[in-house]
């Protein structure tokens, strides 16, 4: 069967009642958390992980993916109407989106954001449809050195792109690797760092850590804020039509944003955020009137909002074809797979073809659903902002705690959840990004297995990592990035100290 | 200040981890054992923490302690700790009613009746959803 036939089969799977319902629930929840400041898509998926135990694997993964890309759609609503980004990838949209809303063009900004998101999201999905199987085929020849090299390169690039200090990000990645070593060693069967605690013997539950670092910490951050009444810009349905000039100016940024987002999604790091800033910079540079940016330039909405949706689709490529999550969002999705005993990677397409193609097809359907529900229902979603967060957040916190308990029926997990929630709160406050920690925790076992197996096979020859062509090229890129950064540090140190 | 405390915390964690990693066998480069990666990772973490401490980049802008309402944060954390303890003693419904009511008051919800009714309704609803519909065993 060729790719088109398999995709058609995927549509057959995803159009079943349960999967279609899961997709609809996912995109609605995604839009909701995108709209509501205080809780993001990663936190939401983390909170819902335990609830998916009783769901069919395909349906639950379709739902989680729907939350992930749905949030990118919803995030623009609050940015435009309220000047408050619903999630991090919509920060840049505030600048021109809200300026347009203040000029009475909020409806046009919302429509361009939604249509741009749909077009670019579909571009990303077409890339996912054709690239993921090709990459998975290529990855079948990968051995331990290649997986080790990819994990190392992923961590190196990730620490460079998180937006915080590279040293802090590297430290967080290493702490994640350290946490990943707790429990039984897969090679020797020796218990490590368990201190006689049974709960630690089986290793630290990844989803509990993710729920703590992303979910509980976000809830704490929101709950400690004073209650603020939001001033919402009103939009009428008939205003949701961009004029001809606005359309003309939006088309090219939408396609450029789609391309930028797709490429950013293939790189490790917070692709959604990086792609929006890159797209905004490109549009501003290309514009004949750069002074308009920040004062309501529609290109400043069309480009970034398209880019973050394309990035959301593209981040699925390394996850589905290599089994390696390159962002916190895809790491959470990976745990959605693992909770159902499914390991993404090169063999996923053959072993779980229905799930793989059903998921991709559901994303096409979800994209259409998002366009249909986002434009007419924008008023309803915006009115959700009136929900008092001091009522909503404690309820969400109880769901989180109950969900975390239900994973292993363990009070120890609850202590971990709260401990990592508090840690996550202070980490974000002090410039320590939790995303590298989560990626380190996920990639740590891959890295350790790849390293130890390669060294045993190569009889301790470290050069075997470099003599294998694919592994050598990947590590070479990693080394280049490290040397480039070190030279940058050296330069700034010499400048600061007057040498 | 808060950033320095965080860095000290990670240094403490790294040293603690490295101390116990030393008790595991390192093996040889041709035959790595259970302590191989932990010792490397622990050492790297210690070096990185020291580098963060001395780095000039630690002066970067962070949210720090600005905007933290310590009183609220303290009472929320206290409530979380007591919730876990009460879950084991009085069971899910009673502990959740108390915890939710407490959180509503900590987060400045006005009145007594509405938060009371809401916390009771939510606790019972969640119990039904988790136990009856999702088959979860709750304390």
pLDDT tier for residue B50 given thresholds of 50, 70 and 90: very high
CB contact under 8 A, A428 and B41: no
Chain B contact for A422, CB < 8 A? yes
- Residues B71-120 have pLDDT tens digits of 888 999 999 999 999 999 999 999 999 999 999 998 888 889 999 999 99
- The number of distinct structural domains making up chain B is 2
Q: What is the largest CA-CA distance in chain B?
A: 69
**Residue A16, in any domain of the structure:** yes
Residue B7 sits in the same domain as residue B54: yes
Nearest CB neighbour to A429, from listed B14, B49, B62: B62
Q: Give the one of A174, A390, A397 whose C-beta lies nearest to B44's C-beta.
A: A174
**Residue B121 falls inside a structural domain:** yes
The encoded tokens of residue A421 equal 């929630």
Identify the burial level of A189 via C-beta atoms within 10 angstroms of its C-beta, where 0-12 means exposed, 13-18 middle and 19 or more buried. Answer: exposed
Residues of B in contact with A432 (CB under 8 A): 6, 10
The Cβ of residue A8 has, within 10 Å, a number of other Cβ atoms equal to 12
Same domain flag for B74 and B128: yes
Regarding whether B128 and B94 lie in a shared domain, the answer is: yes
CB atoms A402 and B126 under 8 Å? yes
Mean pLDDT over B22-40 rounds to 89
Instruction: Establish if A499 belongs to a structural domain.
Output: no
| Residues of B in Cβ contact (< 8 Å) with A187 | 32, 34
Is the pLDDT confidence value at A361 over 90? yes
Indicate whether B21 belongs to any domain: yes
Q: Is residue A497 part of a domain?
A: no
Q: Residue A365 has what pLDDT?
A: 93
User: In chain A, which residue's Cα lies nearest the Cα of B16?
Assistant: A193
Task: Judge if B91 and B41 occupy the same domain.
Answer: no
Q: Which range of residues forms the domain containing residue B35? A: 2-62
- Coil, strand, or helix at residue A43? helix
State the average pLDDT over residues A338-355.
84
Residue B138 lies in a domain: no
Q: Quote the crossing angle between the two packed helices A57-82 and A353-374, to the nearest 10°.
A: 30
The average pLDDT across A162-180 equals 85
Task: For residue A115, tell me if it sits in a domain.
Answer: yes
CB contact under 8 A, B37 and A405: no
Bridge partners (DSSP) of residue A183 are: A192
Question: Can you say how many angstroms the Cα of residue A290 is from the centroid of all Cα atoms in its chain?
Answer: 30
Q: Which of B9, B13, B41 to mutate to test the interface with A (most CBs of A within 10 A)?
A: B41
Residue A329 pLDDT: 79
How many other C-beta atoms can be found within 10 angstroms of the C-beta atom of residue B63?
Answer: 13
In a domain, A432, yes or no: yes
A209-243 residue pLDDT tens: 888 887 788 788 888 877 655 555 565 656 667 78
The 8-class DSSP code of residue A237 comes to: G
pLDDT mean over A249-255: 92
Asked whether residue A117 is assigned to any structural domain, the reply reads: yes
pTM for the whole structure: 0.77
pLDDT in tens, A285-330: 888 888 888 888 899 999 998 998 898 888 888 888 888 787 777 8
For chain A, the farthest-separated pair of C-alpha atoms sits apart, in whole angstroms, at 71
Distance (Å, rounded) from C-alpha A182 to C-alpha B34? 11
Lowest mean pLDDT among A98-112, A120-134, A484-498: A484-498
Average pLDDT, chain A: 82
The answer on B100 and B46 residing in a single domain is no
Q: Residue B3: its pLDDT value, please?
A: 83
Residue-wise pLDDT for A37-60, tens only, equals 656 677 777 767 776 777 788 898
Does residue B45 share a domain with residue B23?
Answer: yes
Q: What is the ipTM of this complex?
A: 0.91
The answer to whether residues B74 and B125 belong to one domain is yes
- The number of folded domains in chain A is 1
C-alpha A396/C-alpha A211 separation (Å) is 12
In a domain, B139, yes or no: no
Q: Which residues of B23-60 are buried (b: 16+ CB within 10 A; e: fewer)?
A: ebebbeeeebbbbbbbbbbbebbbebbebbeebeebee
A19 falls within a domain = yes
Q: Judge if B77 and B95 occupy the same domain.
A: yes
Q: Which of A224, A421, A430 sits opposite B2 (nearest CB)?
A: A430
Q: Looking at the structure, do residues B41 and B87 belong to the same domain, yes or no? A: no
What confidence category does residue A335 fall into, taking pLDDT thresholds of 50, 70 and 90?
confident
Nearest Cβ partner for A178 among B42, B68, B126: B42
Range of the structural domain that residue A54 is part of: 2-492
């Amino acid at each position: 069967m060729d790719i088109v036939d398999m995709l058609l089969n995927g549509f057959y799977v995803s159009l079943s009642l349960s999967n279609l319902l899961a997709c609809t629930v996912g995109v609605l929840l995604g839009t909701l958390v995108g709209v509501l400041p205080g809780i993001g898509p990663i936190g939401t998926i983390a909170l819902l992980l335990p609830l998916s135990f009783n769901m069919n694997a395909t349906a639950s993964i379709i739902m989680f993916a729907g939350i992930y890309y749905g949030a990118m759609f919803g995030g623009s609503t609050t940015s435009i109407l309220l000047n408050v980004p619903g999630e991090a990838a919509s920060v840049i949209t505030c600048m021109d989106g809200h300026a347009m809303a203040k000029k009475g063009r909020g409806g046009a900004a919302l429509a361009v954001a939604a249509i741009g998101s749909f077009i670019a999201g579909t571009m990303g999905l077409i890339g996912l449809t054709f690239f993921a199987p090709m990459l998975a085929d290529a990855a079948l020849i990968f051995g331990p050195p290649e997986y080790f090299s990819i994990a190392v390169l992923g961590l190196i690039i990730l620490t460079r792109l998180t937006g915080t200090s590279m040293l802090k990000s590297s430290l967080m990645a290493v702490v994640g690797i350290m946490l990943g070593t707790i429990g039984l060693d897969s090679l020797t069967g020796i218990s490590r760092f368990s201190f006689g605690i049974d709960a630690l013997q089986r290793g630290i539950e990844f989803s509990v850590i993710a729920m703590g670092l992303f979910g509980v910490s976000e809830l704490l951050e929101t709950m400690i804020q004073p209650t603020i009444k939001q001033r919402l810009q009103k939009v009428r349905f008939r205003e949701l039509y961009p004029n001809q000039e606005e359309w003309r100016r939006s088309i090219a940024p939408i396609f450029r944003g789609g391309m930028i987002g797709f490429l950013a999604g293939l790189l490790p790091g917070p692709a959604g955020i990086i792609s929006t800033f890159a797209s905004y910079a490109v549009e501003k540079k290309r514009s004949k009137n750069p002074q308009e940016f920040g004062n309501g330039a529609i290109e400043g909405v069309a480009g970034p909002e398209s880019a973050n949706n394309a990035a959301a689709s593209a981040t699925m490529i390394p996850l589905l074809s290599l089994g390696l999550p390159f962002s916190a969002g895809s790491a959470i999705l990976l745990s959605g797979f693992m909770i159902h005993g499914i390991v993404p990677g090169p063999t996923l397409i053959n072993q779980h073809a229905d799930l793989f193609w059903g998921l991709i097809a559901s994303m096409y359907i979800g994209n259409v659903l998002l366009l249909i529900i986002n434009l007419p229902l924008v008023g309803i979603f915006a009115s959700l902002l009136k929900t008092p967060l001091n009522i909503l957040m404690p309820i969400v916190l109880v769901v989180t705690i109950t969900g975390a308990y239900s994973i292993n029926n363990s009070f120890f997990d609850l202590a971990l959840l709260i401990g990592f929630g508090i840690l996550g709160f202070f980490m974000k406050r002090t410039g320590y990004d939790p995303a590298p920690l989560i990626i380190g925790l996920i990639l740590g076992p891959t890295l350790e297995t790849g390293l130890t197996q390669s060294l045993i096979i190569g009889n301790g020859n470290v050069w075997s990592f470099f003599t294998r062509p694919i592994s050598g090229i990947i590590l070479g890129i990693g080394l280049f990035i490290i040397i480039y950064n070190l030279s940058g540090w050296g330069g700034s140190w010499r400048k600061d100290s007057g040498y | 200040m808060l950033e320095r405390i965080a860095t000290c915390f990670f240094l403490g964690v790294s040293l603690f981890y490295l101390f116990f990693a030393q008790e595991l066998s390192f093996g040889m480069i041709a035959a790595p054992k259970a302590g191989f990666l932990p010792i490397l990772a622990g050492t790297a973490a210690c070096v990185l923490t020291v580098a963060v401490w001395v780095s000039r980049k630690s002066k970067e802008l962070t949210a720090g302690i600005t905007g933290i309402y310590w009183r609220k944060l303290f009472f929320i954390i206290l409530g979380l700790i007591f919730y876990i303890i009460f879950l084991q003693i009085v069971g899910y419904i009673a502990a959740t009613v108390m915890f939710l009511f407490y959180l509503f008051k900590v987060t400045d919800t006005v009145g007594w009746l509405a938060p009371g009714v809401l916390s009771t309704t939510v606790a019972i609803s969640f119990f039904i959803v988790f136990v009856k519909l999702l088959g979860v065993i709750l304390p």
